[in-house]
Amino acid sequence: MRITHVETVVLKHRFGPPESGVMRDWINVLVHTDEGLTGIGRGGSPQVISQDLAPVLVGQDPRQIARLWEGMYESAWRYRGPGRAAMPSIGALDIALWDLYGKACGQPVWRLLGGYADTVPAYADGIGYMDQSAEEVAAEVKEHAGLGYDAIKLHFNSCTPQEVIDKVRLSREVLGPDKKLMIDVSRAWSGAVAVETVRRLEPYNLYWIEEPVRHDDEPFYMRMVQEATSAIVAGAEGEGTLYGIRRLIDEGALQLVQTDILIGGGYTGLMRIAALCEAYHLPIAPHGAQFPDVNCHFVAAVPNGLTVAACPSCEPFQIWSKLYDPAFRVENGQIVMTDKPGLGLELDWDFVNRHRVDSG
């Protein structure tokens, strides 16, 4: 089996309520072979894929995934190569290669990667993409809980600490004491502000606090926050190299690793990071509320896989629930892993062709 060509398919689809008029490009990648099998991946840069990475793959056996991954990585980090900017494209292609491998073997990806669990918990991750009052946030928390999610995360990109506390307080009231509530601060606070705020958040029993501090002295600030809260302190969604994760762990910055499935280099990269985390007794929960369809295979494969983020299908900030036929589903906060080969997913070509704007 040989790779014949790599195709990128760009979809233009709304991101947010229809009245906002906001549109977003959603990238999909197809790796085609001479035996008629095609692997599906999501994300990446069409330019990086076509100019830098596809030449590494074409003509090669797609089942030699580790060797192809190393070839793409070396190409990315060559002199004047795209470097770190290439990691999401490597991730997208790696996902497609594993999909191909699963189809060739007749086995689902999660089982080939390790097959640790056949059901994966998912948390609702769709609140905070737009400005909302504390009451509006609480109403949305109630809606997501009504869909069966036992864990819900709130995003805070530009809120003051007091606004965060008000929204968390009302959210905990409607959620009750037994469900998990998490927050993502998007590196907004200094160490001192973070410590003061997380202490004030203690009565609301947060499960985790994600990326609470700014990047200039992140490891030291993260240790400060760990000492001030009983919540898990999580981060590293944007750190995609094994060596960067090793540095953050060695510096005591992380209690939960959240490397993004694309930025981490797909399944091949994240499996290496998961093994590193296990050596330090750390769980891993990959970033990516837009990618529960691919993240679930990784989390199901490893013993320290914790949970999968999912922007709920009722929210206008996602595309995963519309992309496939039959549709990919999260039901009652759980993902039941497929027995179908590869990712077990087939693109809905009617949907794709309605929103397709470019390919290569």
Query: Per-residue pLDDT tens for 161-194?
Result: 999 999 999 999 999 999 999 999 999 999 999 9
> Quick one: pLDDT at residue 360?
59
Q: Label residue 77 exposed, middle or buried (CB < 10 Å: 0-12, 13-18, 19+).
A: middle
Tell whether the model's pLDDT for residue 217 goes beyond 70: yes
Cβ 16 vs Cβ 22: under 8 Å: yes
Please report which helix (H) or strand (E) contains residue 20, including its range. Answer: none
Cβ 149 vs Cβ 125: under 8 Å: no
Q: For the stretch 316-326, what's the b/e string if a residue is b when 16 or more beta carbons lie within 10 angstroms of its beta carbon?
A: bbbbbbbbbee
**How many residues are recorded in the chain?**
360
How far is residue 68's CA from residue 74's CA, in Å, rounded to a whole number? 10
How far is residue 229's CA from residue 196's CA, in Å, rounded to a whole number? 10
Averaged pLDDT of the chain: 96
Average pLDDT of span 256-282: 98
Average pLDDT of span 295-320: 96
Model confidence over 117-158: pLDDT tens digits? 999 999 999 988 888 999 999 999 999 999 999 999 999 988
CATH 3.30.390.10 for the 3-106+348-359 domain, yes or no: yes
* CATH 3.30.390.10 domain span(s) along the chain: 3-106+348-359
Segment among 26-35, 76-85, 103-112 with least mean pLDDT = 76-85
Beta strands 334-336 and 119-127 are antiparallel
How far is residue 139's CA from residue 161's CA, in Å, rounded to a whole number? 20
Model confidence over 54-64: pLDDT tens digits? 999 999 999 99
How far is residue 70's CA from residue 75's CA, in Å, rounded to a whole number? 8
> Quick one: pLDDT at residue 74?
96
Cβ 43 vs Cβ 61: under 8 Å: no
Average pLDDT of span 25-45: 97
Cβ 96 vs Cβ 31: under 8 Å: yes
Tell whether the model's pLDDT for residue 358 goes beyond 80: no
> What's domain 112-336's superfamily in CATH?
Enolase-like C-terminal domain (3.20.20.120)
Model confidence over 14-25: pLDDT tens digits? 998 888 889 999
> Quick one: pLDDT at residue 130?
82
**16 DSSP assignment:** S
% the chain with pLDDT above 70? 99
> Quick one: pLDDT at residue 359?
59
> Is the pTM higher than 0.85?
yes
Model confidence over 42-56: pLDDT tens digits? 999 999 999 999 999
How far is residue 108's CA from residue 163's CA, in Å, rounded to a whole number? 44
Cβ 256 vs Cβ 284: under 8 Å: yes
* CATH 3.20.20.120 domain span(s) along the chain: 112-336
Band (112; pLDDT cuts 50, 70, 90) = very high
